[in-house]
Structures are given as structure tokens and as C-alpha cells.
Amino acid sequence: MKISARNVLSGKVVAVAKGATTAHVKIEIAAGAVVTASITNEAVDEPGLAVGKKASAVIKASDVMFAIDGRSSAVPPGDVANRTPIRRSG
């Protein structure tokens, strides 16, 4: 797969929870580090996303925030669809 995005996190699908129109897909990118995406059921079905399959999370964002000691320094104005705490090791 060739893609121009620079924020690509590869891993394994560990959960797929489908709703009426939207699914929540969890990809483990490292031991204990999981990325969750809300995508359409069609986006799950077409490529055959399923638990145990290798997959990549491609992240595109128009805002960049910085964090120190695990706390966000800014929250962009407007609606927030999802907040995921990020813990760093070391």
C-alpha cells in the first residue's frame, strides 16, 4: 500500500463493534496501545476488517496539539467527536 499520509500506525484488529450504521474498530499498535476509530459499517465490510487481521490506522488532522505529562495543552474549539488519552512510557 502506498499512501502520502505520514501518520500511519500499523497493528492488529482486536475488536469490531458494529452499530446500526457506524462501527468502532480497535487496532492494537503496540502491547497495550490501542487506537479506536469510528467508521461506517460499509468501511468495515468492504476490506473485510475482522478481529485478528492486520490493519493500519491512517490519521489525518487539521490541528496539532502538544502535551506535557499526559495533559493536553489545548482543545480545539467546536465539536469533539472523540477524546483518547495518550500515555507515554519512560
The CATH number of the domain holding residue 13 is 2.40.50.100
Any domain includes 82:
no
Q: What pLDDT is stored for residue 74 in this prediction? A: 55
The 10s digit of each residue's pLDDT in 31-45 is: 989 989 899 999 999
What are the Cα distances from residue 2, in Å, to 44, 47, 49? 20, 16, 19
Segment 15-66, tens digit of pLDDT: 999 999 999 999 999 998 998 989 999 999 999 999 999 999 888 776 666 6
* 52 within a domain of the structure (yes/no): yes
**Domain limits at 58?**
8-64
43 within domain boundaries: yes
DSSP-derived 3-state class of residue 43: helix
Report if residue 90 sits inside a domain. Answer: no
Q: Decide if 85 is inside a domain.
A: no
For range 74-82, the mean pLDDT? 53
Residue 4 has pLDDT above 90, yes or no: no
Q: How much is the average pLDDT of 7-21?
A: 93
